[in-house]
Each structure stands twice: as structure tokens, then as C-alpha cells.
Amino acid sequence: MALVEQFDEYRSRMNERILGSDNLIIKRLFNLDTNTYAEGAVSSKTKELIGLACSMVLRCDDCVKYHLGKCHELGVTEAEMQEVFSIATVIGGTIVIPHLRRAVEYWDELQKGTE
Amino acid sequence: MALVEQFDEYRSRMNERILGSDNLIIKRLFNLDTNTYAEGAVSSKTKELIGLACSMVLRCDDCVKYHLGKCHELGVTEAEMQEVFSIATVIGGTIVIPHLRRAVEYWDELQKGTE
Amino acid sequence: MALVEQFDEYRSRMNERILGSDNLIIKRLFNLDTNTYAEGAVSSKTKELIGLACSMVLRCDDCVKYHLGKCHELGVTEAEMQEVFSIATVIGGTIVIPHLRRAVEYWDELQKGTE
Amino acid sequence: MALVEQFDEYRSRMNERILGSDNLIIKRLFNLDTNTYAEGAVSSKTKELIGLACSMVLRCDDCVKYHLGKCHELGVTEAEMQEVFSIATVIGGTIVIPHLRRAVEYWDELQKGTE
Amino acid sequence: MALVEQFDEYRSRMNERILGSDNLIIKRLFNLDTNTYAEGAVSSKTKELIGLACSMVLRCDDCVKYHLGKCHELGVTEAEMQEVFSIATVIGGTIVIPHLRRAVEYWDELQKGTE
Amino acid sequence: MALVEQFDEYRSRMNERILGSDNLIIKRLFNLDTNTYAEGAVSSKTKELIGLACSMVLRCDDCVKYHLGKCHELGVTEAEMQEVFSIATVIGGTIVIPHLRRAVEYWDELQKGTE
């Protein structure tokens, strides 16, 4: 799980650094971000799938990794994930494919980690 | 329902024009697009919510209108829609707000049409 | 000032509609947005110039109009505005030019309104 | 040719306004823009097809219109145009489709004008 | 040719992984992608130049590398490549420059490989 | 200062390679880029803050690093930087956060280098 651990370590370390500064606006945005994915009229799982697809079409590899991790925790199945990958790639076009490759690689690693 | 009718009329007319040409690649992409949102491991409703959020973060008003129409047909509630609006606006930032305004306006019109 | 009045009227009406809903996430994001441009270590005027340039490179006409209005209120001069237009167009490339045209048109209207 | 004339009139008027100001950076960028599409190792026609496809994937309707006009002047055929439309839509994904609709409408109008 | 080999190895391995899954939508999109660049009314070479420029303005390094490889195979000259680099950088602005640096580095490596 | 030195070395080497070619359009764009940030009606410091924020919302890590270096040279304070980080992250949304992490890391390294 080298990819997953590297991503988590860097993300945690830098988030701590950012939240340790006096930047109130950023702190509140981080807080808002957490609340956005809370269980509600739409389930957390669906929200994470939405977050993942948005991250793919916006082509942000780190955002994709974060939401893949969350989807994995919430029990998203291989079949569900393949369909969300399809939606994002069709909406965003072939320009998304390099990000799809990295998403699939990371998703595979997440799933190996729990076997 | 002026906004809705105008959008539907223009979209239908131009899609007909495009599909009436000999452009096989585009025809197959249109076909792929339709299949992408079919019921599967992920429900059509969730897929439309994903399509809507992706359209908002990519800031494509016409794509937003299209998916709002589909969400309306599939019975998405006001509470669900507000949460999807939140996710897209938090991910995409304040740059999404003008598109949120137009999305809310169109959503309101869709809902008035069925009262 | 037809362009300015139309923009302001639509923006106010839809913001009221959005803030009148129960969407707490969006309400807090709107609030955060306002605080972001408050006078601080960086002046409000510089913050509005930053907001304007970001809106131009992201090619959001409504965001550009909003920040042009604020820049006008805060006394940004013609010479300052031309330099900010330059930065945004050089960073964003010729794809920004159609948005530059609309920005210049709106800026001219704002300035006529105060003569 | 209402669409074409409206586009040309607004573009000419605002370009004149912009080039009439003292903004040297923008003037030089406009000049650079013109030179970029000059006949060279790559033909002007191919350069305009490239400019068109880039404008489509970046989803700038006005840029698309401009390059469609140039392609029309340079004798791009219907078959060539359909293939360039395909490339841009496959690269950029279904998010490009609303822009494809407007491109096709404008292209049709350009061709009617010369019948 | 370290850069070229690394890119080709990762791309082939992940494409195989993706095409080995049951994701019909993605498989058909990959197939469509291949057909899009086939010889037609527009030559394959021109199509690859279009694909390259679109990849640059969308700032996708892996897409740029892929199309540079294809352009190299199809005999695109240094002079032609420099002109396409110019178009993409002028359209996309200075934000494209870091991607131009990596494109030039990769292009140089491709050309060294065939000396 | 490993990050800073790596960035500077690669950037200098590739810029030299690019400016050593016969690409007049690119050379003139590089020249225009330099002039854009010169002291004028708007100060160089404000222009660099604008360049930084635009780079963040466009999510170009290398562009962010370049402008962070310039801001550091021009004496931008920690408080000013935090406010510019806020603006860019609020405008661009949570999709900017991974770029914010890398920006903070680089900024910290720049500041350590001068202690």
C-alpha cells in the first residue's frame, strides 16, 4: 500500500500545518468541506461518489485519491466504482484517461490492502 | 416554463441536426452518453446527481439544465437537490455561484411546472 | 447602465432565493466569501483586483462583473484596471479575450454611470 | 446570417475599443495572436483547425465562432469540419456537446451565407 | 529515452488493466478514441497535431506525451512542432509554459532516440 | 531548500532550451510575460500576488512555485500570504486544497532558506 500510505502521510502532515496557522478562512472552509459529505437527505456514500466523479472531471489526482479512500471505507463495490469511472470519463472525455489510470491503480491498491 | 421549453426545443433541434449528419464518431459518443446513465450497480437517480454535480463544477449551464430535467423526472427531492448543490459549490468554489443561481432558477421552474 | 442594472437585479434576486432556502452549507460559503475580501494584511482593493483576475482566467463573466463593480466602488483607476486586464489575459491566453471584451464593455458602463 | 453578423459587429467594436486604449501588453498579445496563425511550416488552414479544436475543448463559444469564420474563409469542407468536431468532442467529453450544438448552428449559418 | 519508456510502460500496463475489466462504457470510449485519429478527410498527422494542441491547452502532461509520440512516429518536423507549440501556448497563455517545458523535454528525448 | 533548487534548476534549463530555439512567437510571449509584472500603476508586489492567486485557481503547481519565489523576493509577509491563499481557495473551492498543501510546503521552504 505504498501509494496509499504516502498520500495519507503527506495529506495529514500538510493539513496539520495548514490548520496550525491562523488562517480562519481556510479553517472554516476545511470545516465546511467535512460537513458537506455528512449523511443527510443524500447518503454519505452517494456524496463520496459525487465527490469522486467531480474530482475526476476536474482532473485532480489527489482529490481522486482522497475520495477513493472514503469510497473504500464506505464499502463501494467494484461494480459501482466501474460505473462511476465511466460517468466521469464520458463527461470529461479522453483527457480524463490518464487520471483514470492513476485512479484504477490506487483503487486496486486500496482493495489489496483489505484482502 | 419558458426556460425549460426554450432549452428543450433548441437541444432537440440541434441534436437532430447533429445526428442527421454522417459523423459516426459523434453518433457513437451520443449513444455512449445515453448508456452511461442507465440503471446498473449504481441507480439512474444517483448517476443523474453525479452528472449534475460534474456539470456544475465544470460550469456548463446547459449540461446543468439537462441533468436538472432528468433529476426532476426521477423524483429527486428539494432536500436532496440542495445537498448536491452544496457539494458542487464547495468543490468548485465561489466561481460556481453564478451557475448555482441559474441552476436554482431552472430547478424552481421545473418544479412549478408540475404543481 | 443597462448591463449593470440587469446584473445587479438578477444577482440580488437569486441570492435572496438561495439564502432563503435551508441550505446551511451554501449560506456559510456565502458568508465566508464576504469575509474573504475584508480589509486585512492585504487591502480590500488588492483583494478585489485578485478576485477580478482570478475570475478572468477562470472565464466567469458574472464573477468578472461582480468584481468590476467592487473595484469601481473602491476607486480602482483606469490605469490600474488596464494592468490587471493585461495580467489576466497573458496568464490565461487568447481564450480570455472574449471575456476581456465583455469586461471592458461593463467597466466602461460602470464609469459612465458615475460621470 | 444574423448570428455571424452580430458576432462580427460586437467583436470588431470591442477590439477597436481595446486597441484604442494605452494597454501595450494587450496590444502586443493581439499582434502575437495574429502572427500565430500565419502560413508557415504548418498551413494556416491546419492552424485554424487547431485553434478551433482548442476553443471547443476549452469551451469558449466566441473563440469557436471566430475560428469557424476563419475555417470557412479558408475553404474547410463539411467532411473536414465534422472530423475536427469529433476530435474535440471525444477529447473534451460530453461537456463539450452544448458547445458543439452552437458550433454546428454557426457553421450552418456561415455555409448558407455563401450558397 | 528514460522518460519515453517509463511513460509507455505505465500507460500499456494500466490500459491493459482497464481493458481487462468488465467496463463496457470505458472499452467503447477507448475504441472510439482510436477511431477518432484514423486517416480521413483530415490526415492522421493533422489530427495528432490537433490532439497535441488540445492536450496542451487542457494542460494534461500525459496526453501531451502520448500525442508527441504519435507525432514523432508520423514524421512531424521540428519546425512544424515549434509552430504547434506556439499556437497552444498563445491560446492557453503563460499557464501552459510549465507544460511546454515538459513537452519540449519529451520531444527532445523522442528525437534523440531515433538519431 | 531541495524543492526550491530543483524547481529553479529545471525551469532555467528548459527555458534556456526553449529560448535557444527559433520559435519567435514563444520568445515574444516570454518577453511579454516579463513585462506584465513590471512596476506600474499597480505595484510589482500586487502583480505577483495576482499571478500567484491566478496560478492557484488554475491549479498549476509550477506557476504557483514561480510566483511564490517572486513574492518571497519582494518581501510578502506571512500574513499577506495567508490571505492570498484564502482568496484563491475560496474562489477555486476544495479542488484547490491539494495545490494549497504544496504551496504551503514550498513557501515554508522559501522562508527557511532566508532565516
DSSP string, chain E: -HHHHHHHHHHHHHHHHHHTSS-HHHHHHHHHHHHHTSSSSS-HHHHHHHHHHHHHHTT-HHHHHHHHHHHHHTT--HHHHHHHHHHHHHHH-GGGHHHHHHHHHHHHHHHHTT-
In this complex, do F91 and C54 lie within 8 Å of one another by their Cβ atoms?
yes
**Interface ipTM:** 0.96
Cβ F51 vs Cβ F70: under 8 Å:
yes
pLDDT band at B115; cut points 50, 70, 90: low
Chain C residue numbers with beta carbons less than 8 Å from the beta carbon of E90 are 93-94
Q: What is the pLDDT of residue C113?
A: 81
Chain E residue numbers with beta carbons less than 8 Å from the beta carbon of D92 are 54, 58
DSSP string, B51-102: HHHHHHHTT-HHHHHHHHHHHHHTT--HHHHHHHHHHHHHHH-GGGHHHHHH
pLDDT band at E113; cut points 50, 70, 90: confident
Amino acid at residue number A83? E
Q: What is the pLDDT of residue E114?
A: 63
How many beta-carbon pairs below 8 A join chains A and C?
14
Percent of chain C with pLDDT over 90: 95
Q: Residue A114 above 70 pLDDT? A: no
* Residues in chain B whose Cβ is within 8 Å of chain D: 10-11, 14-15, 17-18, 21-23, 25-26, 29-30, 33, 54-55, 58, 60-63
Chain B residue numbers with beta carbons less than 8 Å from the beta carbon of C14 are 101-102, 104-105
Please tell me the number of Cα atoms within 13 Å of B53 on its side-chain side.
35
DSSP letter, residue A76? -
Chain E residue numbers with beta carbons less than 8 Å from the beta carbon of C96 are 93
How far is the alpha carbon of B34 from chain D, nearest alpha carbon, in Å? 11
Choose, out of B9, B17, B23, B67, the residue to mutate when testing the contact with D (most D CBs < 10 Å).
Answer: B23
B60: left (phi over 0), alpha (psi -120 to 50) or beta: beta
Q: What is the pLDDT of residue D115?
A: 56
Q: Which chains touch D (3 or more CB pairs under 8 A)?
A: A, B, C, E, F
In this complex, do E87 and D55 lie within 8 Å of one another by their Cβ atoms?
no
For residue range F80-111, what is the model confidence (pLDDT) as tens digits? 999 999 999 999 999 999 999 999 999 999 99
Chain D residue numbers with beta carbons less than 8 Å from the beta carbon of F35 are 24-25
Q: Which chains touch F (3 or more CB pairs under 8 A)?
A: A, B, C, D, E
In this complex, do D91 and E46 lie within 8 Å of one another by their Cβ atoms?
no
Choose, out of C58, C81, C101, the residue to mutate when testing the contact with D (most D CBs < 10 Å).
Answer: C101
Q: How far is CA C112 from CA C2, C63, C85, D21, D87, in A?
A: 11, 21, 19, 16, 45
* Residues in chain F whose Cβ is within 8 Å of chain A: 59, 82-83, 85-86, 89-90, 94-95, 97-98, 100-102, 104-105, 108
Q: What is the pLDDT of residue E22?
A: 82
Q: Rg (Cα) of chain B, in Å, rounded?
A: 15
In this complex, do B82 and C22 lie within 8 Å of one another by their Cβ atoms?
yes
How far is the alpha carbon of D89 from chain C, nearest alpha carbon, in Å? 18
C90: closest chain E residue by CA:
E93
Q: What is the pLDDT of residue A16?
A: 97
In this complex, do F58 and E86 lie within 8 Å of one another by their Cβ atoms?
no
Which residue matches cell numbers 509552430?
E83
In this complex, do C95 and D23 lie within 8 Å of one another by their Cβ atoms?
no
Q: What is the pLDDT of residue B113?
A: 81
Q: Residue A115 above 80 pLDDT? A: no
Percent of chain B with pLDDT over 70: 97
pLDDT band at A53; cut points 50, 70, 90: very high
Percent of chain D with pLDDT over 70: 97
Percent of chain A with pLDDT over 90: 95
Amino acid at residue number C49? L
H helix or E strand, kind and range, residue F73: helix F61-73
Residue A76, phi then psi, degrees to nearest 5: -60, 135
**Cα B98 from Cα B107, distance rounded (Å):** 14
F76: left (phi over 0), alpha (psi -120 to 50) or beta: beta
Nearest-CA neighbor of C36 among A31, A23, F105?
Answer: A23
Dihedral in degrees, nearest 10, Cα atoms C84, B59, E56, E25: 170
How far is the alpha carbon of A46 from chain D, nearest alpha carbon, in Å? 22
Show the cell assigned to C50.
485578485
* Residues in chain A whose Cβ is within 8 Å of chain E: 59, 82-83, 85-86, 89-90, 94-95, 97-98, 100-102, 104-105, 108
Cβ C31 vs Cβ A32: under 8 Å:
no
E50: closest chain D residue by CA:
D50
For residue range C31-80, what is the model confidence (pLDDT) as tens digits? 999 999 999 999 999 999 999 999 999 999 999 999 999 999 999 999 99
Show the cell assigned to C30.
456565502
Q: Where are the alpha helices (DSSP H) in chain D?
A: 2-19, 24-36, 44-57, 61-73, 78-92, 97-112
In this complex, do F50 and C50 lie within 8 Å of one another by their Cβ atoms?
yes
List, for chain F, all residue ranges whose pLDDT scores fall below the cut of 70: 1, 114-115
Chain-centre distance for alpha carbon D56: 9
A93: left (phi over 0), alpha (psi -120 to 50) or beta: left
Q: What is the pLDDT of residue B114?
A: 63
For residue range C76-106, what is the model confidence (pLDDT) as tens digits? 999 999 999 999 999 999 999 999 999 999 9
Q: Rg (Cα) of chain D, in Å, rounded?
A: 15
Q: Residue D114 above 70 pLDDT? A: no
Show the cell assigned to D97.
456537446
**Cα D14 from Cα D23, distance rounded (Å):** 14
C90, C91, C95: residue with CB nearest E91: C95
Q: Rg (Cα) of chain C, in Å, rounded?
A: 15
Q: What is the pLDDT of residue D107?
A: 98
Chain D residue numbers with beta carbons less than 8 Å from the beta carbon of C98 are 60-63
In this complex, do D86 and B22 lie within 8 Å of one another by their Cβ atoms?
no
How far is the alpha carbon of A62 from chain F, nearest alpha carbon, in Å? 6
How far is the alpha carbon of C36 from chain A, nearest alpha carbon, in Å? 7
E15: closest chain A residue by CA:
A101
F89: closest chain B residue by CA:
B93
H helix or E strand, kind and range, residue F67: helix F61-73
Query: Crossing angle, helix A44-57 and helix B78-92, to 10 degrees?
Result: 40
Residue with the bigger pLDDT between E68 and C21: it is E68
Percent of chain E with pLDDT over 70: 97
Residue E113, phi then psi, degrees to nearest 5: -60, -20
Instruction: Give the mean model confidence (pLDDT) for residues D54-71.
Output: 98
Instruction: Give the mean model confidence (pLDDT) for residues D101-112.
Output: 97
User: Model's pTM, two decimal places?
Assistant: 0.97
For residue range A17-26, what is the model confidence (pLDDT) as tens digits? 999 988 999 9
Cβ D15 vs Cβ D30: under 8 Å:
yes
3-state secondary structure chain C: CHHHHHHHHHHHHHHHHHHCCCCHHHHHHHHHHHHHCCCCCCCHHHHHHHHHHHHHHCCCHHHHHHHHHHHHHCCCCHHHHHHHHHHHHHHHCHHHHHHHHHHHHHHHHHHHCCC
In this complex, do B82 and C33 lie within 8 Å of one another by their Cβ atoms?
no
CB within 8 A of D60, min separation 6: which ones?
C59, C95, C98
Amino acid at residue number D28? R
Q: What is the pLDDT of residue E115?
A: 57
E59, E83, E104: residue with CB nearest F18: E104
For residue range A56-97, what is the model confidence (pLDDT) as tens digits? 999 999 999 999 999 999 999 999 999 999 999 999 999 999
CB within 8 A of B34, min separation 6: which ones?
none
From A27-41, A62-76, E68-82, F101-115, the region with the lowest mean pLDDT: F101-115
How far is the alpha carbon of B85 from chain F, nearest alpha carbon, in Å? 13
Q: What is the pLDDT of residue D22?
A: 83
Amino acid at residue number F109? E
Q: Where are the alpha helices (DSSP H) in A1-115?
A: 2-19, 24-36, 44-57, 61-73, 78-92, 97-112
Q: What is the pLDDT of residue C115?
A: 57
Chain E residue numbers with beta carbons less than 8 Å from the beta carbon of D32 are 90
Residue C80, phi then psi, degrees to nearest 5: -65, -45
C62: closest chain B residue by CA:
B98
**Cα A14 from Cα A34, distance rounded (Å):** 17
Nearest-CA neighbor of E92 among D23, F29, D35, F69?
Answer: F29
Cβ E87 vs Cβ F13: under 8 Å:
no
pLDDT band at B99; cut points 50, 70, 90: very high
Show the cell assigned to F11.
525551469
In this complex, do A36 and C25 lie within 8 Å of one another by their Cβ atoms?
yes
Chain A residue numbers with beta carbons less than 8 Å from the beta carbon of B40 are 79, 83
Chain C residue numbers with beta carbons less than 8 Å from the beta carbon of B100 are 18, 26
